[in-house]
């Protein structure tokens, strides 16, 4: 575990050279070796490629939405607009954000971090990728042939009775993709329980692993509920079952309860892994032990647990019982506490550290700053008084984009840059990384900050036309989206380039601590020659290089 930081590669003679002859990547490039692989690292790459594709598709629809909103009367038809924002939401939520960090970085890193040769069920891992592709493919088929105009929330009775679009196919696609997520979570839970290396006790686990453990609980216990709910929507359309049909005494609001039971915790599926990434990065780039390890670890579990108790804060204006609303609002405030704890602990970790401003760390700064806004604006929406005005407006849109883009995607990009040398064995060009992270930061804020104002002013979401007085802010937002879009193109290109032309990275280019950095880059198929024995606490940066 010891590393001489100044010159990490040379100081570790026992480790293999920078370009190991045998790595998971060198095992062949034919299609078969990829499509039938059971190696968690290769499956991680398969996911990485697929979600990048889905992200590109989702971004395209976002561009359509922002372009339409440049002028008050819209540029495209109402129907095309409705289908675009639905497609954006469905693709980004179900096909990009939910699998993003867990299925790529989590898949790749968890066995490496806990000292295992693979996930507990490699075949199920591959199966989950195939389910994801089949589900994602069906969903895209629905979007491209006729489209879907229900919004990603599928609210009944619109989705069951009135929508003329491809609801059934999309619903079944999302249902299948949901099982991919469940299987990933199941694999993580079992792996973390049963596959840890000797000496890797629960409180020596990297916080990235803790975050994924909490995420996996949500995936396993929440996803099935949305799966059945979406299935009921399809059944109601196909067989005319009356679950949510008010004409037969069914309750459309029941759909919202069942839907949000999953879909609120799903937000934590997106953000928790990102928080895990941030915990790793903060330590590595400030050479400090994490401040309040157990508080961060436990707050992940607390978020996963309390996150299941707050769903009806999406429903305060549906006419739900006032006392029930109060209970849900109170619980919503409670779930804000663990997120606050994490933010404070990350900031405190920097105190008297040795802070290195590399690209991943810049993403950490972005994350903390933006997640803070996202989280704090959540307090307006969890508040019964202000939610009445703000819900279903652009304030909500801005809020969850600050969480999902400012939080989840910043964490994802930070993590991707941090572990890129481990995954590919090569370095990307640092200056490009810095420039693009700044571009993304500026573009993001310009896109979404005006939306807070729009929401407070009262512009409802999902509007393809709007009153004239909202135009200034909408134009600003669309301008920001353009910058953001270009910002995203950069990492895509320079990472792709570095994959072929990048400088060899060596096993531990950042001088970071963790079992994954003791393996060669890229790691061999078996991960470890010998299963390591863990003897130290996590993030033991203060004692680094003293052995």
Applying the rule CB under 8 A, the residues between 264 and 323 that interact with other proteins are 286-289, 291-295, 308-309, 311-312, 315-323
120 scored as a contact of other proteins (CB under 8 A): yes
Q: Is 475 helix (H, G, I), strand (E, B) or coil?
A: helix
70 scored as a contact of other proteins (CB under 8 A): no
341 scored as a contact of other proteins (CB under 8 A): yes
User: How far is 445 from 123, CA to CA, in rounded Å?
Assistant: 42
Out of 12, 348, 429, 476, the residue judged to bind other proteins by CB under 8 A: 348
Q: Looking at 29-37, 101-109, 450-458, 485-493, which segment touches other proteins (CB under 8 A)?
A: 450-458
User: How far is 454 from 69, CA to CA, in rounded Å?
Assistant: 12
Least spacing, CB of residue 140 vs other proteins, in Å:
22
Least spacing, CB of residue 280 vs other proteins, in Å:
17
227 scored as a contact of other proteins (CB under 8 A): yes
Contact 281, 414 (CB under 8 A): yes
Contact 64, 89 (CB under 8 A): no
Contact 282, 207 (CB under 8 A): no
Out of 225, 267, 269, 271, the residue judged to bind other proteins by CB under 8 A: 225
Least spacing, CB of residue 386 vs other proteins, in Å:
5
Nearest to other proteins of 13, 542 (CB atom): 542
Q: Which of residues 152-181 bind other proteins (CB under 8 A)?
A: 153, 155, 157-158, 161-163
Contact 169, 233 (CB under 8 A): no
71 scored as a contact of other proteins (CB under 8 A): no
Q: Looking at 59-67, 111-119, 423-431, 481-489, which segment touches other proteins (CB under 8 A)?
A: 111-119
User: How far is 537 from 547, CA to CA, in rounded Å?
Assistant: 14
Nearest to other proteins of 196, 422 (CB atom): 196
Out of 35, 145, 199, 203, the residue judged to bind other proteins by CB under 8 A: 199
Contact 214, 272 (CB under 8 A): yes
Nearest to other proteins of 17, 242 (CB atom): 242
User: How far is 194 from 84, CA to CA, in rounded Å?
Assistant: 44
98 scored as a contact of other proteins (CB under 8 A): no
Query: Residue 503 pairs with which residues in a beta bridge?
Result: 427
Nearest to other proteins of 28, 49 (CB atom): 28
Nearest to other proteins of 101, 361 (CB atom): 361
Q: What secondary structure letter does DSSP report for 148?
A: -
Least spacing, CB of residue 387 vs other proteins, in Å:
8
Peptide bond into 346 cis (omega under 30): no
Q: What secondary structure letter does DSSP report for 16?
A: P
Task: Write the interaction track for other proteins spanning residues 486-525; mark x where CB under 8 A is met and - where it is not.
Answer: ----------------------------------------
Nearest to other proteins of 136, 450 (CB atom): 450
Query: Residue 426 pairs with which residues in a beta bridge?
Result: 504
Peptide bond into 157 cis (omega under 30): yes
| Residue 411 CA, distance from chain mean position | 8
| Residue 121 CA, distance from chain mean position | 23
Least spacing, CB of residue 79 vs other proteins, in Å:
5
Least spacing, CB of residue 497 vs other proteins, in Å:
27
Token pair of 472 as six digits: 């200034």
Which residue, among 439, 416, 283, has the nearest Cα to 356 in the 3D structure? 283
Nearest to other proteins of 356, 431 (CB atom): 356
365 scored as a contact of other proteins (CB under 8 A): yes
Out of 33, 130, 198, 535, the residue judged to bind other proteins by CB under 8 A: 198
Contact 8, 511 (CB under 8 A): yes
Out of 16, 245, 434, 482, the residue judged to bind other proteins by CB under 8 A: 245
Q: Which of residues 374-393 bind other proteins (CB under 8 A)?
A: 376-377, 379-380, 383-389, 391-393
Number of residues that bind other proteins (CB under 8 A): 159
Out of 251, 429, 476, 490, the residue judged to bind other proteins by CB under 8 A: 251
First to last CA, the chain: 9
Q: How far is CA 394 from CA 61, 70, 456, 534, in A?
A: 17, 15, 8, 49
Q: Which of residues 6-35 bind other proteins (CB under 8 A)?
A: 6
Nearest to other proteins of 15, 348 (CB atom): 348
Out of 325, 405, 423, 439, the residue judged to bind other proteins by CB under 8 A: 325
Q: Which of residues 423-442 bind other proteins (CB under 8 A)?
A: none
Least spacing, CB of residue 12 vs other proteins, in Å:
16
Least spacing, CB of residue 299 vs other proteins, in Å:
9
Contact 152, 90 (CB under 8 A): yes
User: How far is 441 from 364, CA to CA, in rounded Å?
Assistant: 11
Least spacing, CB of residue 208 vs other proteins, in Å:
19
Out of 142, 167, 258, 409, the residue judged to bind other proteins by CB under 8 A: 258
User: How far is 380 from 136, CA to CA, in rounded Å?
Assistant: 34
Which residue, among 349, 400, 331, has the nearest Cα to 371 in the 3D structure? 400
Which residue, among 209, 2, 196, has the nearest Cα to 117 in the 3D structure? 196
Which residue, among 434, 421, 425, 406, has the nearest Cα to 491 in the 3D structure? 434
Q: Looking at 14-22, 93-101, 193-201, 479-487, which segment touches other proteins (CB under 8 A)?
A: 193-201
Residue 271 contacts by C-beta under 8 Å, 6 or more apart in sequence?
A: 371, 403, 404, 407, 408, 411
96 scored as a contact of other proteins (CB under 8 A): no
Helices 252-286, 394-403: axis angle to 10 degrees equals: 40
Least spacing, CB of residue 212 vs other proteins, in Å:
14
Task: Write the interaction track for other proteins spanning residues 405-424; mark x where CB under 8 A is met and - where it is not.
Answer: --------------------
248 scored as a contact of other proteins (CB under 8 A): yes
């Amino acid at each position: 575990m010891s590393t001489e930081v100044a010159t990490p590669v040379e100081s570790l003679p026992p480790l293999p050279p920078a370009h190991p002859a045998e790595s998971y990547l060198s095992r062949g490039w034919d299609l078969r070796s990829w499509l039938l692989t059971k190696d968690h690292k290769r499956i991680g790459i398969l996911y990485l490629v697929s979600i990048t594709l889905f992200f590109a598709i989702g971004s395209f629809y976002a561009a359509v939405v922002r372009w339409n909103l440049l002028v008050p009367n819209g540029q495209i038809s109402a129907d095309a607009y409705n289908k675009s924002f639905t497609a954006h939401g469905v693709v980004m939520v179900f096909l990009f954000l939910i699998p993003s960090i867990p299925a790529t970085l989590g898949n790749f890193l968890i066995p490496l971090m806990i000292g295992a040769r693979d996930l507990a069920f490699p075949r199920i891992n591959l199966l989950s990728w195939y389910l994801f592709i089949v589900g994602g493919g069906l969903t895209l088929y629905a979007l491209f042939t006729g489209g879907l105009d229900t919004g990603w929330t599928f609210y009944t009775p619109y989705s069951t009775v009135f929508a003329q679009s491809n609801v059934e196919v999309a619903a079944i696609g999302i249902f299948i993709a949901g099982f991919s997520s469940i299987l990933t979570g199941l694999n993580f839970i079992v792996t973390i329980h049963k596959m840890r290396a000797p000496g890797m006790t629960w409180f020596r686990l990297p916080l990235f692993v803790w975050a994924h453990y909490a995420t996996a609980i949500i995936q396993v216990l929440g996803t099935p509920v949305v799966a059945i709910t979406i299935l009921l929507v399809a059944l109601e359309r196909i067989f005319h079952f009356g679950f949510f049909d008010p004409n037969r005494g069914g309750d459309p609001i029941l759909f919202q309860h069942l839907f949000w039971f999953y879909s609120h915790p799903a937000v934590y599926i997106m953000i928790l892994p990102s928080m895990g990434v941030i915990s790793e990065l903060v330590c590595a780039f400030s050479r400090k032990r994490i401040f309040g390890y157990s508080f961060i670890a436990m707050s992940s579990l607390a978020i996963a647990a309390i996150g299941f108790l707050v769903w009806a804060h999406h429903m305060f204006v549906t006419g739900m019982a006032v006392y029930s609303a109060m209970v849900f609002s109170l619980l919503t405030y409670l779930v804000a506490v663990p997120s606050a704890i994490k933010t404070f602990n990350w900031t405190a970790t920097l105190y008297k550290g040795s802070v290195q401003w590399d690209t991943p760390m810049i993403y950490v700064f972005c994350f903390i700053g933006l997640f803070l806004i996202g989280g704090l604006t959540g307090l307006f929406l969890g508040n019964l008084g202000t939610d009445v005005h703000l819900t279903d407006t652009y304030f909500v849109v801005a809020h969850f984009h600050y969480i999902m883009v400012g939080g989840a995607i910043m964490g994802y990009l930070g993590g991707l840059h941090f572990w890129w040398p481990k995954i590919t064995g090569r370095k990307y060009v640092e200056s490009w990384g810095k420039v693009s992270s700044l571009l993304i930061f500026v573009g993001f804020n310009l896109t979404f900050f005006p939306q807070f104002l729009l929401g407070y002013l009262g512009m409802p979401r999902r509007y393809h036309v709007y009153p004239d007085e909202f135009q200034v802010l909408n134009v600003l937002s669309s301008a920001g989206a353009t910058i953001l879009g270009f910002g995203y193109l950069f990492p895509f290109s320079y990472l792709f380039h570095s994959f072929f032309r990048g400088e060899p990275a060596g096993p531990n280019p950042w001088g970071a601590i963790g079992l994954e950095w003791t393996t060669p880059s890229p790691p061999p198929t078996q991960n470890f020659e010998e299963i390591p024995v863990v003897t130290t606490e996590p993030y033991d940066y203060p004692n680094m290089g003293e052995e």
